[in-house]
Each structure stands twice: as C-alpha cells, then as structure tokens.
Structure 1
Amino acid sequence: MNDSLYIKGATVSLPSGSEKRDIVVEDGRITGLPARYANIKELPEIDAEGLTVLPGFIDVHTHGGAGIDVNAADEEGLRTIGRFFASQGVTGWLCSVLTDTPEQTLWCMEQARKVIEGGPYDGAPLLGIHLEGPCLSSEYKGAMPEHLLMHEASVDLFRTYQEASGGHVRYTTLAPEIPGVEDLIPQLNALGITCAIGHSGAGYDESITCIDAGAAAITHCGNACRLFHQHNPAIFGAGLETDVYVEAICDGRHLHPGSVRLYLKAKGWDHVVAITDSIMAAGLPDGEYKLGVNDVVVVDGDAKLASTGVRAGSTLTLAQALRNIMAFADTDVDHAVRLMSDNPARLIGFAGKGRIACGSDADLTLVDASYEVVRTIVGGRTVYQA
C-alpha cells in the first residue's frame, strides 16, 4: 500500500483552476478528489493544510545537475540527477544527450535503458531520452562539437540508437536545412520519436516544410536559431505562427521576460514548454564544469563555454522556472505550471501525466506559500521531502 495514500486539506491545482480538495491515491493513480474529508478506505494520510498540490513537473530538455553530466553519466549517475530533480518538484524527465561520438552515444543509450527499465527508486523517474543532434547546423551549433555534427541525415543511425535504448528515445532535435531531414522526420515519428527543429539557420519555408512533415516543437526557441526578419520570419517566426510547441528557457538570461510574454501571447498557455536545458552545475556553486566534451565556466550562475564565451545550457531548475514565469507573466500558479506539466506531457505523449484528475498518475508536487517544493510524489510514493 506504499503507493496508496490520502492527501487532506490542500489547495489543489486542477485543470479548471485551484480548489480546496482532498486527493485519493490508490495503486499509484488518482481515484478521487473529494471536496471535503472522506478517507473512507483508511489510507495512509498526508496533512497538506496550507500547501498547494501541483501536477508534477516534467523536464524534456536537460543535460544534468548535481555535478553529473548526462553524456558521462552511468546508471547511478543518472539516478543522482533524478534525486536532485525530485528536490525541485520534478516527477519525470528526459536525459538530453549532447552530440557525441557514436560509441559514447550508444553507451549513453545503454545507461539510460538500465535506469528506465530498472523500476522505481528514490528520485524522479527517467522517462526517456532526448537526442540533441547530431543533425544540427554548424552556424548555430551553440555548444555542439563541430567535428561530430552530421551533414546529411540518416535514419540508420537513429534506428541504431533507438534499438540500443530499448525504444526509449522519445525526442530529438533536427536542423531543417540539413539534407534529408524533411524525409527523416516522418521516419523518426514512426519509430516513436517526437521531432523538434532547432540549432538551425533555416529560413521560413524550410521550417514550415519540416513542420508539415511532422516536426512538433522548436528547441529553445530564440536561442541557437536564426531570428525573425520581416522579409524572412525564419524558424523563429514559423514556430510562433504555427501550432507547434515552443521550448522556453525561463531563467531571465536566455530569454528576456518580454520574450516569454510574447511566446505566451502568440502560442497561448498550452503550447509553450518550460525547459531547463540545465547542465551538471545546476544546484552547485560557480566554477568549472563539463557539458559533453566541452569545458564550461559558470559565473554568477551563468554557464558559458570556456573557449568562446558562448552560453552553454543553464543552471536553472523547474522549481525556479515556475516562480520566474509567475513573475515574468504576472500570472497565477495554475497557468504557470501548465508549461512544465500538461504541455510537455502532451508534446512527448506521456498519457496519464501532467494534470491532477481522476485516472491520472499520482505524480504530484507540493509547494508552500512561497512556491518552494516541500514534497514530491511519484506514482503515490514520496521521493522527496524537505
């Protein structure tokens, strides 16, 4: 019965808005949302008086945290990241593998597979893998190693990675201008992989062609991509105009708060996905770190490549992103939390996650009046408690 419980006295963030409700959890799923106390099955109780219960956070784009880099993380390293993320309200995440050698990438697939298939542990579950590359633009490579980028798309390499992962590659980033990407997208969709476009200098027409082919998102829109021009709105304009999702790094560095508001105005509250794009330095002091094969220096929480000074991921957490979005958009927690719960769940196709409703997985984040995380619950099991 350790995945069954009764949460009483909370303010609950429901799809329709916050209400005073209790939450009944049985066998890891939400089975009731009574308006007043009704623990008729005498389930173990959590007193959540004074707290708000949010749908658990999902990070679909992160390269690490707590001193662990995804590209170098073995099985236990990935669990260490997951434990740190649980302390930040995360109840599921994708490990983003930076463009690397095929040999190292295959090793990463094997480590991730072990964790994904290894069952519950005391942290945020690894739900799948995000391949950031290798079909990316040299001009907009960001922190991607130039010599490892592919200049012609090949489904064979992705099929090899998908087989090695046990089918757990769920998401990838592609640049539309790389020859073959337009044809690759539907093939990857058929392998169960959601495609985003980004790290790209693609023009508007190229971008629209890939969206029509099945691309579902723009990777960290506004960062490492060609920007809007009135004569060629480019990938940026295509992302804001169409119905695709746009990822947003809401740390106040990658995007001005006005840009976050623009995305919300253009896309609505249901097509912006808050990501961290965090590196191993998340949760740690300033210093020298790694991002894949790159050396990174963090000063005042800002991560940049040691060699060029180009920004290289972030030290953001989703708990901080929640508070930032509320401030940037002058909005309530019910709106802000959609960007890191329901929206990423729908983007990647995580059925039963991302919202508090009967039948949904009991993946819950409990926050105090300052929106600091005090408890994280995955499938009815507490995986973090402040």
Structure 2
Amino acid sequence: MSKQTSDQLKSSDSSTLVIRNVQLVEPGRGISSGDLLIENGRIAEVGSIPVTDTGKVRELDGQGRLLTPGLIDLHTHGVLNHFYAEGREDLLLGGKALAQFGVTTVLPTIVPQMEVGWLDKIAEICAALDDVRGVNMPGIHLEGPFMAIKGTAAATLEGDLEMLKDIVAACGGRLRVMSLSPETPQIIPVIEMLRENGVTVFLTHTRASVEQTESAIAAGATHATHFYDVFYSPPETDMGVRPVGAVEAILADRNVSVDFIADGIHVHPAAIKAAVAAKGYSGVTLITDSIVGAGLPPGRYDTPWGFQVQLAEGDAPRTVEGNHLAGSSLTMEQGMRNLLSWLDLPPEQVWAMGTGNPADVVGLKEVGRLQVSDWADLVLWDDDLRPAQTWVRGELAYNRSQS
C-alpha cells in the first residue's frame, strides 16, 4: 500500500484511498477510532480496515484527527468576492472556493430582483450548476419573491401562481428551496404548488400570527430559515402580556425544523439553546446566510443589491448607509466551531447540525453521513478544528498544506 502524508496528496489523485487513524464522526450517533476507505468516489468501508499490499491502494495517516462528513450550507448568497446572483462566473468561482471552508454541498441562494430579465438570470444560474467543480450544487434556494416584509433586499409580492409557474419552468427542475412569508396574501396555493413540484418550503421574513403560521405549516412549509432574524412579534395589545406569533408557532411544532446564523451577532447562543430544547438537536441546522466578504478581511464591498456593505473585524456586514445588518460574513467552519463551543451537547450531535441535519431538511440522499455507499464528501480537521483536507465525491478538493 502506498503511504502518503497530507502534503503529498494532490487534487489529481483519484485512485482508491484509505484514510487511517482518524476519529470518525458519525453525526448524531457517535465518534469512534478507525479508518475509512474511498473507492470510485464513494465510501466503501468504515472501521478497522486491513492493510493490503496490492500497490493499488493509497494510504493517508489522519494522525488521530477528526474526519467528518462535508458541511452542507442551505442558505448562502456568496463567498469571498463572489456573489451567486451575478451569474455563471461567480457561481463557478464561488463554488470552487468553498472546500477551504469544509463545505462540500451548497444551495446557492438568490434573492429575486424583479427586474427585466430576472427569470433569464435564474435560468442561467440553474443551467450552470452542473458545471461547478469542487462542491456539489444540487439546486438553488430562492429567498423570495413572495415576501410580506423586506429584509435587506427581498421583494414584496402577493402569492401569484402564474409567476410561480414561470419560476419553476426557468429553474428546469433545479429549484430546491423557496423561502417565503406565511402572511403573504394568497400564499397557501403557492406553498401547495411548490410542494407538488418537490420544492422544500422555508418560512422567513415575517410578522405572521400563530394562525397564519400554522396554516402555512399545514399547507406544507417544513422549515424556518435564519430563525429569529426578521421574525417579528405582533404588537403588544395588553400591557404586560407577551404577544405570540410565528416564532412561538414554529417552536411549538416538532415537525418544523429551524436554522441559525451562528455568528454570535445575528442570534444569541441562548436563543439557539432554547430552540435545541424545543426541537432536539436533529431539528436545528447551521447556515451562514453569507454574502460577499465572507472569508475576506475587513473592508467595504459592493453587492448586486445596489448598496455597499462595510465589514469590520468581529462583526457582520452592515450597510454603509444606515448601518443595518445585511447577511453575514460567517463561514461554515467558524459556525461549527461556535456551536461546539456554545452548546452543551455531545459533539456528534453538534456536528449533525452542519452535516446530516441539513441533508435531511431538503431530502438530500447519500451525503451528510459516514455510511457505506454514500458519496465520499469528507473533511479532515486539524487540531484547531480548521479544515486540513476536503474531499468531494472522493476527489481531493482542498489541501491546506498546498494552498
């Protein structure tokens, strides 16, 4: 067996590989010492793997470090200086950059701008997904257009089935998620049509009542994205009586999962702990909601939404005019480190929030776990919990020692 160190591995190496002497993280189930065999892009064996001398199998010593499934980000608008909504080039370049942050699957998230040609732009993005290298992009996430409240840039529209038909057609089967507000007029038929087309419905940007939220859930909404952020409570009607709305309706329904921007700015760790108490670890997922600037140093950056953001050290992006939060600069690796630090849970349950849980939220198969026959989307972490190597479909997509 050909033995290699991490700095000898190259992205062109695609033969059978055994990663030895690692701590295997099976999300939600446990962590155990062992080895993992990759063959033909998939996980072929997990556990104690005998040594062979065929010369056809390469070997990597994991040095006792953690080996996890690749991270999955369901809500991200961009990374570095690449904004997915800009089109094909940004999609390709941004996708290629994600492996350094431990991300192996992503849903590029687009806010419809409702300008002339916007459907053509969405069609261009969806058509480019299969050309992306270094990360899996199984579909897109549309944040809008059926919103009752504007966040930074989301459109405000009534539910419109004809428009929805045009959106679904433009996506060519690649619309995986749509986020919407439960109180948007005529939204129930929209949710029902989305579900009929296999699209997962997220709730967000809302001042909805309990009843409006429950109706959206009954129609097929199953998840709430960037939970607590742009989730407003109804106005207080009786002094001292806390009003309830979408947040409480979502927390009360164990069939509805939630995700968080775990940067310590958008949401307090105590709020995440409260959601875990209500949902269990399997009902909570990590996202970034990242925009341009994620993974970059402090500075001022342009967005295609028509405004600039300022990124300061230790802060999230804020609009230059108004100083309002505008997405995040969080990366998935930092989000995982934050959750592991904040949550008093077994680490394998926390790791699930960035791997198996998001896969389950949108029905992704063969990713998010270390199971035989699943795709070999993997991250080997260093002692500081930073990605050292990332594999996508068994191919080495990132090796920090060579970057």
Q: Shorter-chain TM-score: what band?
A: over 0.9
- For 2:52 and 2:367, the matched residues in 1 are separated by 24
Match of 1:156 among 152, 157, 162: 162
Q: Once superposed, which parts of structure 1, at least 4 consecutive aligned residues long, lie more than 3 Å away?
A: 36-42, 102-105, 227-232, 330-333
Match of 1:70 among 76, 84, 99: 84
Name which of structure 1's ranges 338-347 and 306-315 shifts more when overlaid on structure 2: 306-315
Structure having the higher Rg: 2
- For 2:52 and 2:26, the matched residues in 1 are separated by 20
Structure 2: tracts of 5 or more residues without a match: 1-12
Report the alpha carbon displacement of residue 258 of structure 1 after superposing the two structures with TM: 0.8
Report the alpha carbon displacement of residue 158 of structure 1 after superposing the two structures with TM: 2.6
8 Å CA contact 2:130–2:137 kept in 1: the answer is: no
Q: 1:82 matched to which residue of 2?
A: 95
Q: TM-score, normalised by structure 1?
A: 0.92
Q: Does 1:235 align with 2:256?
A: no
8 Å CA contact 1:204–1:232 kept in 2: the answer is: no
Secondary structure, aligned partner of 1:144 = coil
Q: 1:179 matched to which residue of 2?
A: 185
Q: Does 1:207 align with 2:221?
A: no
Secondary structure, aligned partner of 2:166 = helix
- For 1:336 and 1:274, the matched residues in 2 are separated by 9
Q: 2:283 matched to which residue of 1?
A: 271
Q: 1:382 matched to which residue of 2?
A: 396
Q: 1:311 matched to which residue of 2?
A: 325
Secondary structure, aligned partner of 2:34 = strand
Q: What is the identity, as a one-letter code, of the residue corresponding to 1:94?
A: L
Q: Does 1:366 align with 2:380?
A: yes
Q: Does 1:221 align with 2:227?
A: yes
Report the alpha carbon displacement of residue 209 of structure 1 after superposing the two structures with TM: 0.8
Report the alpha carbon displacement of residue 377 of structure 1 after superposing the two structures with TM: 0.6
- For 1:203 and 1:325, the matched residues in 2 are separated by 30
Secondary structure, aligned partner of 1:302 = coil
Q: TM-score, normalised by structure 2?
A: 0.89
Q: Does 1:262 align with 2:274?
A: yes
Q: Does 1:126 align with 2:137?
A: yes
- For 2:392 and 2:116, the matched residues in 1 are separated by 33
8 Å CA contact 1:278–1:314 kept in 2: the answer is: yes
CA offset digits 1:112-171 (Å, max 9, x no partner): 2233222x62x2222210100111123xx22025xx421x11132232222222211100
8 Å CA contact 1:217–1:246 kept in 2: the answer is: yes
- For 1:8 and 1:260, the matched residues in 2 are separated by 35
Indicate how the Cα distance of structure 1 residues 50 and 134 shifts in structure 2: closer, same or farther if over 3 A, else same: same
Q: Does 1:17 align with 2:30?
A: yes
Secondary structure, aligned partner of 1:281 = coil
Aligned ranges 1:28-107 → 2 under 5 Å? 28-39=41-52, 42-72=56-86, 74-101=87-114, 103-107=116-120
Name which of structure 1's ranges 30-39 and 375-384 shifts more when overlaid on structure 2: 30-39
Q: Does 1:26 align with 2:39?
A: yes
Structure 1: tracts of 5 or more residues without a match: none
Report the alpha carbon displacement of residue 8 of structure 1 after superposing the two structures with TM: 1.2
8 Å CA contact 1:100–1:292 kept in 2: the answer is: no
Match of 1:135 among 146, 165, 168: 146
RMSD (Å) for aligned C-alpha atoms? 1.9
Secondary structure, aligned partner of 1:87 = helix
Report the alpha carbon displacement of residue 40 of structure 1 after superposing the two structures with TM: 7.2
Q: What is the identity, as a one-letter code, of the residue corresponding to 1:149?
A: T
Report the alpha carbon displacement of residue 349 of structure 1 after superposing the two structures with TM: 0.8
Report the alpha carbon displacement of residue 102 of structure 1 after superposing the two structures with TM: 5.0
- For 2:224 and 2:181, the matched residues in 1 are separated by 10
Secondary structure, aligned partner of 2:357 = helix
8 Å CA contact 2:74–2:141 kept in 1: the answer is: yes
The percentage of aligned residue pairs carrying the same residue is: 29
